[in-house]
């Protein structure tokens, strides 16, 4: 059983990747592609793999598919990276089921998004988070992404949830750096940047690590950025961030990240297909052209 009192970097890692779910053109999960992708992530310095999160197309995964993904990735990554299972839905009972399935499948931790679509009150957000955290002994990382959920986790809500012994971290995709610093100063919550464009400022403000979409492609370069900040070399960190800008823009500022990360991995030959499930569709030609230019620039800079 995981000791949830351990430092967050031991519970979750520091260089986390929001892993895509490789799929065949018919929409079925590509098991061989998943295996190859996990090896790629481990080889490039990822120490935490988020399975079945937004970038993994969680809304389209069945409960059985989500559990099997966790089981397969946890078995493959055991001892080499932490495996964090995305279990959040807009239904607390369903989230509890997914949390228990993830525990049984071997997950090291849980990622719990704020309930979406239902737009609960802040008291409802606290009740939801507490119920899921109570359901298993696994450490929990909250996921605050109001652009997708329609509801932000307010600072007071995060402070209240931080009192739960298993709620240990926040993946912050809100982008309010002042609020993040405020919550870090008032709670033991570890922050992880969930916006690739802002990895450097979050790390500089005290974030423990990142949960990166771009890391699917270049986890080694993200690791170098984290290392530079943790080593106190901000000039080097700025240089690392600048080198990532073309790829970050191509992946995060065109089509959805899941679409563009899959396209990049397919371009590199890590996975066989860039297929996604509806309502997502594959990258448009103009977006692919920008992506290829970005990948070429990364190769030249290597």
171 an active-site residue? yes
Choose among 131, 173, 130, 181: nearest CA to 155.
Answer: 181
Among 90, 143, 191, 202, the one annotated catalytic = 143
- 13/141 Cα distance (integer angstroms): 12
- Clarify whether 117 is annotated catalytic: no
Q: Which of 78, 116, 171, 191 is catalytic?
A: 171
Q: Which residues are catalytic?
A: 143, 171
């Amino acid at each position: 059983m995981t000791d949830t009192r351990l430092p967050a970097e031991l519970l979750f890692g520091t260089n986390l990747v929001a892993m895509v779910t490789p799929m065949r053109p018919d929409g079925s999960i590509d098991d061989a592609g998943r295996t190859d992708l996990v090896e790629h992530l481990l080889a490039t310095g990822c120490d935490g793999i988020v399975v079945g999160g937004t970038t993994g197309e969680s809304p389209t995964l069945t409960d059985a598919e989500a559990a099997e993904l966790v089981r397969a990735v946890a078995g493959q990554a055991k001892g080499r990276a932490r495996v964090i299972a995305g279990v959040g839905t807009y239904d607390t009972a369903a989230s509890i089921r997914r949390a228990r399935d993830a525990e049984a499948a071997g997950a090291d931790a849980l990622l719990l998004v704020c309930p979406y679509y239902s737009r609960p009150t802040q008291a409802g957000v606290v009740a939801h988070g507490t119920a899921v955290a109570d359901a298993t002994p696994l450490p929990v990382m909250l996921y605050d992404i109001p652009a997708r959920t329609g509801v932000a986790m307010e600072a007071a809500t995060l402070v209240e949830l931080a009192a739960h012994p298993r709620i240990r971290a926040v993946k912050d995709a809100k982008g309010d750096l002042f609020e993040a610093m405020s919550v870090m100063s008032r709670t033991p919550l570890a922050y992880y940047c969930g916006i690739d464009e802002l990895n450097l400022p979050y790390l500089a403000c005290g974030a423990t690590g990142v949960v990166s979409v771009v890391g699917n492609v270049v986890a080694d370069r993200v690791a170098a950025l984290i290392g530079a900040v943790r080593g106190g070399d901000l000039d080097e960190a700025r240089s690392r961030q600048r080198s990532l800008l073309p790829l970050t823009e191509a992946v995060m500022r065109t089509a959805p990240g899941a679409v563009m990360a899959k396209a990049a991995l397919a371009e590199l030959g890590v996975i066989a297909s860039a297929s996604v499930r509806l309502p997502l569709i594959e990258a448009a030609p103009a977006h692919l052209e920008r992506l290829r230019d970005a990948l070429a620039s990364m190769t030249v800079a290597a």
